[in-house]
Structure 1
């Protein structure tokens, strides 16, 4: 041992391992994977640990693959849009989670740390990446998640009960208490259904006032002296749990019958109790809560205490409601007004808001209600309930109210019931009227006059706001559509179908757009893009980008050079930075396509005879991003006649509640299922299937059908609406084959009649049927075969379909029918050139 400079012993001289460490062995067999890649991601060095984890050999990777090539499809997008730009900006990235695809196709969860090395001039030189296997960590996280979920379930049950207790404390009526109580068993205990009975002293019975669907407990009124288990629990005032069907058969046969019918295994019956003010030591049952479970369930002691606490709190709430009936009625009206106001604010559109208003009034306030609005030439009417008052007398009252602006409260002598007609006034003018009819068991309209006038005032303001919203929304949508591409190019060598759908509940315009134009007579350009943000700025930027692409596109440039020019363009237009673009150019003389994607989702190509595939080449960062500083790339591919290329924006597949890979798979399956559908209406149909009406983002699609199919094959549903789409598709195909106009019209007419026959007669009772249409063309004639698999019903004598068959025979030269396993109609029309 030696002394160090500080006078103490130098212990580092004795810290020696009994062997020499080989630095190369440390690198190759380190407990983590090492990768060294070029700035473009090409792998140039890899250690043995990474190879063992992934199953690749060095020959498979070094110089052959880029790091992002080893990632899943979704993670490739994340690598391009987040990982690469972040690494370029800050020179290192830490603990980024990816799914790496092993050589055998299995996923390997990994954590990635990368460092970007630069040369003395500051240019990217090399990327060093450390990779950790996250499989065990993910399993540990799953265990923690399971424990957390168990704790959250207990906490959620307590929160639910706390919320229910708070709701009970604020509930002013017995019905609202019951509504609050019946909602508790589901979230608190996992019950399948629940029912509440309230004691009715006047009738000496338990009245069912609230319940969920599919309950094992019959939701009807029960006499207090009945032998049914509900009445017995009310008399005894004790919690009772029927733990099995066998127990119910032994003690409660009527309950066993309903449990067997509904498939319930356990039933809990809870009395809702309170102590009377005259005798605090006594217990009074004010109702019964019953809830059940689909599977056998044994409640824990903690759960039983919570159940009893729920019954006690509900009983106290019922007691308060009974003692303060008059105060409850006033509070009920106030709550109804506030709830109606909130509900109307949720729905922004005029007619749905009017329908929501009458739906809330009936049956809460009246038996019948109608809103009549003076909007449009004919006006708008929303009505609910019934029966309605006499139409002529009601019309007189409405006219009088609109004339003088005063409410009309009539007695039962005129309409055989209390009826009220109130003006809906906003901003000093009458928007319309609210008319309602009360029932014999309700308070009179005169007694409710103050409440009804308040309701009409709030409704008038809410409906006027909805009218103004729709007016502004229409203006915004008109502006946005005016900025989209106008007339698309028309050419027999291709067809373009587009669809744009704005976000469902958003007044602001967005930045999704599409375009298609001819660069030269033989070169077609198609593009779909998405500008970051919303509002007028996004829409304006969208228009600028579209115009810039049209101006910069040329026969010599190509997609890559176009994107490079756009990068320079967005340096001057800051709002266009980070916009994404999918751009393709098609040589119509050779059917060769060149495409490039700047941060955009990959195009989807469907070729005849093969499954759809995503075009994942030629990808680079969004416009103006740091990741786009390097040269843009493009990719060439040869298309066959009949190919269909789909470009789209992220609103079509991205959802907050699922991985993007699932969205890609769903789109591919949907697109494959529409392979034989007519091109007209195809993009709208895809958007309907994947998005629906309630969506939070704009959706933009463009489908390019290239070349003329020698043989047209289409499969359409048994829906007459599909006939028009088929006619449009068939017309374009015939024109592309230079079929004369006379023959074209004859084939279209005969095909429409034959398909209509198949739908009407073959699939009259089967709306899900399919009709197959196959058309071929030769220099001499056009042949069409239409097949269905339905069971035909004979037309009535003299019916329209009989004349349709006669018409088919008149316009076609040859017609044949085959009824084996359905119906096949084969038709042939000789072309005009062959008739000479």
Structure 2
């Protein structure tokens, strides 16, 4: 290794371990590091493209020497062009011919770049993006320079991953908070209470509940669990919640509502699945119509009787066109004094604890009482002082008169 390469290595190591950079936010980190990279590698441009939420496109996030990439929102599909090929293969790539046959982004050859070197940004096995440098002079980047650029990219990948994780957690929490009913319906003869707790392991995810008034003296009660966690699951949850409300206004049968939701989710929410329970309570007729899409059944409790799980047809979850034979609902009496409890599986699923045992424990805990007291009792018995691994949503409904 010659003196220049040794000096370059030392300066790169100094740059990526700079304590000032360690404390900087992502925007400042990218700005400072890319300008240092441009100087250290004696190149004309240095750019970072980050993968978008879909994982299918790279988006220009920061640059030194080619601001137009960021200003114009350059996007490159994974698998196409120079950066896209690096993202797909997760291997460094160097090209000595920059034009439309090798590069998707026309800004690169319009600037007069003749050589490009790019490396993948990967952390914890996840693709974060691509970093590349370019020169308007003909040259050949050495193996040492490639390894050093990869070292910088790894540092940026870690910072970008942490930043995105924190931002997504914050956004997901705000989204879920905005979608949960701020106020439950106030109807004579009916009382409501609810709980939502994010999972200690997964954070905010795809659990939701909803209680809303419908035309014709009816109340809609929905509870569901979108597979996954984080912002992606919360976004899908929000769309499903809104779609279910819209279908609930158009169709009276809960089974038909879930059928429409299934069709929508299967077509638009690719690679997504959710369990949903949807009930329509007829307040004058004292009756409930219920449909289940892969969801655990609610519990009904009446004075002087044993609490029981509502016996309703269990259809497949929503998504993937699973309900090819249609969906069915069932109808039940909800006389005065009756209490209904809806919940998601986070309430009864615990590591190393039998599910049936937890369900029986829940059933035995539910007794006719004020919904708020019921929710408090259930959470005390089923959760207690141990944080739940998964999201929990819980809704209690009581017919009082």
2:343–2:395: 8 Å Cα contact kept in structure 1? yes
Query: 1:630 & 1:525 partners in 2: Cα distance?
Result: 25
**Structure-2 change in CA distance of 1:567 and 1:556 (3 Å):** closer
Regions of 4+ moved over 6 Å? 469-472
Name structure 1 gaps, 5 residues minimum: 1-468, 709-836
Counterparts of residues 245-644 of structure 1 (less than 5 Å): 476-506=172-202, 508-554=203-249, 556-575=251-270, 577-625=272-320, 627-644=322-339
**1:271-314 deviations in Å (ceiling 9; x for gaps):** xxxxxxxxxxxxxxxxxxxxxxxxxxxxxxxxxxxxxxxxxxxx
* Residue 685 of structure 1 pairs with residue 381 of structure 2: no
Q: Deviations over 1:519-542 (max 9, x none)?
A: 114011101000010111110111
In the alignment, which of 376, 390, 398 is matched to residue 697 of structure 1? 390
CA distance in 2, matches of 1:551, 1:630: 23
User: Once the two structures are superposed, what CA deviation does each residue of 1:221-246 show, in whole Å capped at 9, x if it has no partner?
Assistant: xxxxxxxxxxxxxxxxxxxxxxxxxx
Partner Cα separation in structure 2 for residue 577 and residue 478 of structure 1: 22
CA contact (8 A) 1:538 1:575 kept: no
C-alpha spacing 1:572/1:627, structure 2 compared with 1 (3 Å): closer
Gaps of 5+ in 2: 1-164
1:504, 1:656 → 2: CA distance?
Answer: 13
Tell me if the contact between 2:169 and 2:230 (Cα under 8 Å) persists in the aligned partners: no
Q: Which residue of 2 aligns with 1:664?
A: 359
- Does residue 399 of structure 2 align to residue 706 of structure 1? yes
Higher-helix-fraction structure? 1
Q: Say if 1:498 and 1:702, in contact at 8 Å, map to a contact too.
A: yes
Residue 609 of structure 1, CA deviation: 1.7
Cα distance change, pair 559–471 in 1 and its aligned pair in 2 (3 A) = closer
In structure 1, C-alpha distance between the alignment counterparts of 2:278 and 2:205, rounded to whole Å: 20
Alpha-carbon RMSD = 2.5
| CA distance, structure 2, for counterparts of residue 549 and residue 505 of structure 1 | 28
Q: Cα–Cα, structure 1 residues 606 and 575, in superposed 2: closer, same or farther, change >3 Å?
A: farther
How many residue pairs are counted as aligned between the two chains?
238
Look up the SS of the partner of 2:239 in the other structure. helix
CA distance in 2, matches of 1:470, 1:624: 29
1:575 offset after TM fit, Å? Answer: 4.8
User: Contact 1:651 / 1:697 at 8 angstroms: preserved in 2?
Assistant: yes
Aligned twin of 1:647: 342
TM-score (norm 1): 0.27
- The alpha-carbon deviation at position 624 of structure 1 amounts to 2.4
Instruction: Give the deviation of 1:491 after TM superposition.
Output: 0.8
Indicate the residue corresponding to 1:460 in structure 2. Answer: none
Aligned to 2:266, the other structure's residue is in SS state helix
Deviations 1:370-399 (A, max 9, x none): xxxxxxxxxxxxxxxxxxxxxxxxxxxxxx
SS at match of 1:512: strand
Report SS of the residue matched to 1:595: strand
SS state of the match for residue 597, structure 1? strand
Q: CA 1:695–1:490 in 2, change beyond 3 Å: closer, same or farther?
A: same
Secondary structure, in 3 states, of the residue corresponding to 1:628? coil
Answer yes or no: is the 8 Å Cα contact 1:642–1:705 preserved in 2: yes
1:651 CA displacement: 0.5
The Cα of 1:476 is off from its aligned counterpart by: 4.5
CA drift at 1:513? 0.2
Q: 2:249 and 2:175 mapped to 1: Cα distance?
A: 29
Alpha-carbon distance in 1 for matches of 2:176, 2:356: 30
| 1:492-530 CA distance string (max 9 Å, x none) | 121110000111254x42000000111114011101000
Tell me the TM-score normalised to structure 2 length: 0.55
Cα pair distance change 1:565/1:474, threshold 3 Å: closer
Q: Identify the structure with bigger relative contact order (alpha carbons < 8 Å, sequence gap 6+).
A: 2
Distance 1:472 1:585, change over 3 A: closer
Superposition deviation, residue 648 in structure 1: 0.3
8 Å contact kept, 2:168–2:230: no
**How far does residue 487 in structure 1 lie from its aligned partner after superposition?**
2.4
SS of residue in 2 equivalent to 1:632: coil
Partners in 1 of 2:391 and 2:170 — Cα distance?
Answer: 16
Q: CA deviation at 1:611?
A: 0.9
The whole-number CA distance in structure 1 between the counterparts of 2:176 and 2:319 is 24
Which deviations, in whole Å up to 9, do the C-alpha atoms of 1:628-653 show, x marking residues without a partner? 11120010111110111111000000
- Whether the aligned pair in 2 keeps the contact of 1:597 and 1:618 (CA below 8 Å) is yes
Q: Against the structure 1 CA distance between its residues 658 and 492, is the aligned structure 2 distance closer, same or farther, given a 3 Å change threshold? A: same
Alpha-carbon shift at residue 483 of structure 1 (Å): 2.3
- 1:571, distance to aligned residue in structure 2 (A): 2.3
Q: Is contact 2:288-2:334 (8 Å) kept?
A: yes
Instruction: Give distance in 1, aligned partners of 2:172 and 2:234.
Output: 10
Distance 1:691 1:576, change over 3 A: farther
Bigger radius of gyration: 1
